[in-house]
Amino acid sequence: MIRVFFYHRNRMRILFKSVLIQDSLSDFYNQVVDLLIENGQWIQIGNNLKEKADRVIDQPGLAWAPSIVDLRVHNTLPGGEFKEDWTSLSAAAKKGGVLDLLLLPTGDPVPQQPQALEFVRNMSQVHGVNFIPMAPLTIDNQGESFTDLFDLFSSGTHWFAHGNSSIQNVDLMSKCLQYLQSLPATIVSRPDTTGLSLYGQINEGLQSTLLGLKGIPDLSETLSVKRDLDLLTYTLSNSFGHTHAKFRLHFSCLSCSESVDLIRAAKKKGLPVTCDVAAHQLIFTEDSMSDFDPLKKVFPPFRTEQDVNSLWKGVQDGTIDAIVSDHTPHESEVKEVEFDHAAFGSIGLETLFIACYQEATQRKISFIDKLLSSNPANLVGLKMPTVSKGSDVKGILFQKVPSYTYSADQIVGKSKNSAFLGNTFSHKILMVLNQKEISYTNQ
């Protein structure tokens, strides 16, 4: 359950005592300070504050982090209201501290007209989270005829994708790059070569052999990354200097070592590329599939321990720009079936922060907030306020707690297909705050 209160009703003052600042852009990073909020702004930051407040939050183990900007959320609307509607989607986002969401063009019918995408943006005013719609590259994501790319861009949509995957037709992908390279636009590719991944169930390796399941090889991903990098290089070399400085190709949901190496090399060459990784890919390996749990059936599949370590290395050295939820809601009827018939995908909005923060802490990796907040914010053109006197409040108050097991009854979204069910967490989000409202969560 989430309770929401608005500052403007009574200009509420809240004093937070002894809070560890986990905002790496703040001058108070890694310091324990008191924080005083009034009317959605930080008005005092220091030690042993004595100012009067309407409410004092003084509990052990409190910490503050910036709110999350999630670059990959599967849009089920319209048509998929039984999986997630605007109300449940915003509730799940707020509970997980996600106040800005980039929605894939995956509704049915696909939102692909300026008016349809404007409707999505308008839902932000209704539900208190910032919905940022992507536009499809081709009509109905069929990979045949282009959408009105320039009209969609002119109407305010600057991110484009082929549904939740990548365009398989080489000529079509090349033309998408050529058409949009003169604009400050981003093309998203979830790299996959369908001829190699077709009918695959889990990572091609030891577990697929032991379980007798068709594997999905690394090559299905890396071949697609190589292809698109080659197409990008070709496009830029023939652009006659007209490529916009903010045009980029964004690879989403990388899962294996070679993909990270390819992106790292491309960045060193100066190619305009960015990438992200799904949170669950940083935590689970193919060994998690040994019990045929359909909740852990995702695409791309969980890879090896070596791949996970390579992904974390990419996080540390800046090769990977963002961590995403890849939030994919499904009704129970397509998950509670035989493994090879189960749908791919896991929800992830509600666990994105706590799962990443816990894993990063265990691996002794700092600055994890950058990949969840400031980096993705920069990619979509958002300015994130930091913890400083006079700045707007936008972030997460969380707390270290005794370990607890994540269960379906803690999920506020409509769909319960979380790969993290049964996992143990040691942190909880207590409050999610922005300039207008405070959301109290009960995780």
- The CATH number of the domain holding residue 436 is 2.30.40.10
**23 and 127 within one domain:** no
How many domains in the chain? 2
**Residue 440: pLDDT band with limits 50, 70, 90:** low
**437 and 327 within one domain:** no
Checking if the pLDDT of 443 tops 50, the result is: no
Q: Is residue 70 part of a domain?
A: no
Q: The CATH number of the domain where 230 resides is what?
A: 3.20.20.140
**Residue 7: pLDDT band with limits 50, 70, 90:** low
Out of 345, 380, 415, pick the residue that ends a domain.
380
Q: What is the mean pLDDT of the chain?
A: 95
The model's pLDDT over 260-314, given as tens digits with 9 standing for 90+, comes to 999 999 999 999 999 999 999 999 999 999 999 999 999 999 999 999 999 999 9
**Residue 442: pLDDT band with limits 50, 70, 90:** low
Please name the residues in contact with 325: beta carbons below 8 A apart, sequence gap of 6 or more.
70, 72, 73, 96, 98, 278, 279, 347, 348, 349, 351, 352
**Residue 254: pLDDT band with limits 50, 70, 90:** very high
Q: Would you state the structure tokens that stand for residue 312, as one six-digit string? A: 């974390």
**Residue 110: pLDDT band with limits 50, 70, 90:** very high
Residue 196: other Cβ atoms inside 10 A? 17
Query: Which of 2-6, 57-61, 360-364, 405-409 has the least mean pLDDT?
Result: 2-6
Contact 383, 377 (CB under 8 A): yes
**56 and 85 within one domain:** no
Residues of the chain above pLDDT 90, percent:
95
Contact 386, 66 (CB under 8 A): yes
Checking if the pLDDT of 208 tops 70, the result is: yes
**303 and 173 within one domain:** yes
Domain that holds residue 192: 77-380
Q: Would you state the structure tokens that stand for residue 264, as one six-digit string? A: 């790292």
